[in-house]
Amino acid sequence: MQNAKDTFYEVLRGRLAALNPDRTIALRGAVRPGLLVQENELLTAVALPDCFRMRWSVSAVDADGAMPLVAMECMIDYETAGTAMNGGMDRGRALAAMDGELQSSLNTLPRSTPKSNYAGLAFGNAVLAMKTNVWWGEVAFAATVVKDDRLARTATVVVMSYQEAGEL
């Protein structure tokens, strides 16, 4: 499952960065595209505004076929207070812009990509191509939530992949 999560993250990060290169975050001294995976970050990064925060929830495994089919729910949280220049009065427009970026990135065809193993990157090794793909369904947007001076939303998408031999 981890390879599918990592692959989906890399694809979404690349698509979001290409769509809006100005949406970045500064985290631990590095500027990077405005997408993070909550389980990989310190608690202080979880409430960052104007970035997308991925978290994984429900997963199901169907072992009936030749290879197990894994379906995972990816929840993407984001929030904005608008811009200081407009005194936050543009927070609705800012949230709508983030909605559009996410929808465009997830709905761009193809909604699949070859699965890769990124585990070796931590040791300076190359990314390894795997034999199967990762694919995802339509994105679903929850209602807008008011959080003090911010508007927030959660989008959900189901990500699927076949589990190859030796994968955890």
Give the model confidence (pLDDT) of 8-17 as tens digits: 999 999 999 9
3.40.50.720, 3.40.50.1970, 3.40.50.2300, 3.30.2000.20: CATH of 2-162: 3.30.2000.20
Average pLDDT over residues 132-142: 97
What confidence category does residue 46 fall into, taking pLDDT thresholds of 50, 70 and 90? low
Q: Whole-prediction pTM value?
A: 0.92
The count of residues in the chain is 168
* Cα angle, residue 149 at apex, residues 101 and 145 outer, rounded to 5°: 60
Higher pLDDT, 122 or 165: 165
The pLDDT score that the predictor gives to residue 166 is 82
Domain extents in the chain:
2-162
Determine the Cα–Cα distance for residues 38 and 56; give it in Å rounded to an integer. 9
Say whether pLDDT at 44 is over 70.
no
The answer to whether the CB of 72 falls within 8 A of the CB of 1 is yes
| Distances from the Cα of 17 to the Cα of 24, 81, 141, angstroms | 8, 21, 21
What is the per-residue pLDDT across 48-82, written as a single tens digit (0 to 9) for each?
899 999 999 988 999 888 899 999 999 999 999 98
Q: How confident is the model at residue 112 (pLDDT cuts 50, 70, 90)?
A: very high
